[in-house]
A = this chain, B = another copy of it.
Amino acid sequence: MENVIRVGIVGYGNLGRGVERSIGLNPDMHVAGVFTRRDPASVAPLSEGTAVRAVEELPALADEIDVLVLCGGSKSDLPVQSPQLASVFSIVDSFDTHARIPQHYAAVDAAARAAGTTAIISTGWDPGLFSLQRLYGEAILPQGETYTFWGRGLSQGHSDAIRRVPGVAAGVQYTIPSDDAVSRVRAGERPELTTREKHTRECFVVLEDGADADAVREAIVTMPDYFEPYDTTVHFISAQELARDHAGVPHGGFVIRSGSTSSEASQSVEFRLALESNPEFTASVLVAYARAAVRLAAAGDHGAKTPFDVAPGLLSPKTPEQLRAELL
């Protein structure tokens, strides 16, 4: 067995706490510290044994940490942190702004190559596991179509959009894949689906005192990009109901490759996630890729990587011999 992998957690919101929990389930790994931009004294870790330190201390700790798991956001944190920290440490991030992945990759790759570190970007489940399924599906069934459906799940971005509507005190939004669309895809129809046909949106809203429900509903369902392209349902509930029934962060979805190998044979490959905690699952994916990053770095395979570049066996604590005997 290798030495225990010392993992630093950068950022300590829901995702960072998920990483701390996940490391606790992996005996070959150890939390080397939580690194925060807040006052470390103000941050209470889940486990008493976890040290909380200032993110500024990191550059001096290159010898004490094998890999950093970056838990910041893709909008403003990771574009700065990933290249910066990859110039000292091997890292894993969950950069998820699809359109900017090529430029993020280039920046991280330059830093990691110069420093001789390994940086796996865009891990998590989409991008991440869903991306892998899109790739496997297309490579195996070149004649076909790939469909990605999200949900049923809480969308943070859409929930934030609801909460900015005047008259809304609080609220959450669930993205829901259309049963009809999923059934048609599974049946091998290979339909062309509009945005409205693929997903619906369901909102649970707490009104401010005296707010006009109809006006709020109208403002939500007509909101461009966020809700207008979808069939959106708005439910008004009490603050108590919101706290009782909507505190979780479930998510999930499907990737379906529907293809054919000859005129007689339709083939369907489906990958499905049903997650009760989106941040804890995402964190678990990041942690598995952290193990891979350490192994790639040790093998001298430096630079930026994505899940496409990482041999599956590197994610597992088991040896290649064990994997062949037990899982193949």
Most B CB atoms within 10 A — which of A261, A275, A315?
A261
Interface residues on A, range: 35 or more
Contact of A140 among B134, B141, B267, B288 (CB under 8 A): B288
Whether, in the assembled complex, A272 has its beta carbon less than 8 Å from a beta carbon of chain B, the answer is yes
| Complex interface bits, A179-221 against B, C-beta within 8 A gives 1, otherwise 0 | 0000000100000000000000000000000000000000000
B271 touches A270 (CB 8 A): yes
Whether, in the assembled complex, A22 has its beta carbon less than 8 Å from a beta carbon of chain B, the answer is yes
A321 touches B102 (CB 8 A): yes
B275 touches A272 (CB 8 A): no
Whether, in the assembled complex, A117 has its beta carbon less than 8 Å from a beta carbon of chain B, the answer is no
Instruction: Evaluate whether A274 and B280 lie within 8 angstroms (CB atoms) in the complex, with A101-B328, A131-B327, A139-B288 already known.
Output: no
Q: How far is the CA of A105 from the CA of B272 in the complex (A)?
A: 31
Q: How far is the CB of A15 from chain B (nearest CB, A)?
A: 12
Residues of B within 8 A of A266 (CB): 276
Whether, in the assembled complex, A54 has its beta carbon less than 8 Å from a beta carbon of chain B, the answer is no
Whether, in the assembled complex, A115 has its beta carbon less than 8 Å from a beta carbon of chain B, the answer is no
Instruction: Evaluate whether A26 and B311 lie within 8 angstroms (CB atoms) in the complex, with A101-B325, A323-B135 already known.
Output: no
Sample (25) of A-B pairs whose CB atoms are under 8 Å apart: A22-B261, A25-B142, A26-B142, A98-B328, A101-B324, A101-B325, A127-B328, A129-B140, A129-B269, A132-B136, A136-B312, A136-B315, A139-B316, A139-B317, A140-B285, A261-B283, A261-B284, A262-B277, A265-B281, A267-B281, A269-B272, A270-B270, A271-B271, A308-B323, A310-B311
